[in-house]
Amino acid sequence: MNSLFVLLLVFTGFASAGLHAQEESPTNMADALAADASTSTLLSALNAAELTDALSTDGTFILLAPTNDAFEKLPESTVAGLMAPDNVDALRSLLQFHLLSGAEDGGGEMASEKIEAAGASVTRTIDCTNGTIYLIDTVLPPPPMQEEGGE
């Protein structure tokens, strides 16, 4: 009888430990990006543009997050130029184009339109306490950049 009681205690301990691990609460966008190895280039760009803190705030956002592979599609000189300290405004503009606020107020439709217009694909989603991250396979150029590229 004692061994049955010990076995029951051990099983209960393992079950509650597993349940506790599954109850881990979601994190904010900044922490989610930091924990995801496929977004290290984006995180470096957000840090350079001083936008990382914005992804830690309360709210409901949609982030169209280019993966490292998406940044690798760009010419190396483009990425290096954007990351240069004297181009912080252009970098900030590019990154802000990827962030939509008010996800429940039509943000999802706007996100779909931006993704479709750039011919990008969503590779994975991450639900966060302050919105949803859509990992995408392309860096989305803001409208002025699209016009320059099309001429």
Instruction: Specify the CATH number for the domain of residue 68.
Output: 2.30.180.10
**99 contacts 49 by C-beta, under 8 angstroms:** no
pLDDT of residue 101: 83
Q: How many domains does the chain have?
A: 1
Q: From first to last of its 151 residues, what are the pLDDT tens digits of the chain?
A: 544 443 334 444 444 444 444 345 579 999 999 999 999 999 999 999 999 999 999 989 999 999 999 999 999 999 999 999 999 999 999 999 999 986 566 677 888 889 998 999 999 999 999 999 999 999 998 876 554 444 4
Nearest Cα neighbor of 65 from 129, 108, 149, 123 is 123
- Give the domain range for residue 129: 26-150
**83 contacts 43 by C-beta, under 8 angstroms:** no
Q: Is residue 99 part of a domain?
A: yes
Q: Is residue 2 part of a domain?
A: no
Q: Is residue 3 part of a domain?
A: no
Q: Residue holding tokens 């993704």?
A: 115
Nearest Cα neighbor of 55 from 105, 138, 129, 126 is 129
Task: For residue 145, give both structure tokens.
Answer: 């950049």
pLDDT of residue 19: 43
Cα 113 from chain centroid? 18
Q: Is residue 126 part of a domain?
A: yes
pLDDT of residue 51: 94
Q: Is residue 105 part of a domain?
A: yes
Q: Residue holding tokens 């990008």?
A: 120
The contacts of residue 50 (CB under 8 Å, 6+ apart) are 88, 92
Q: Is residue 1 part of a domain?
A: no
- Taking the complete model, does pTM exceed 0.85, yes or no? no
Q: Is residue 61 part of a domain?
A: yes
Q: Is residue 16 part of a domain?
A: no
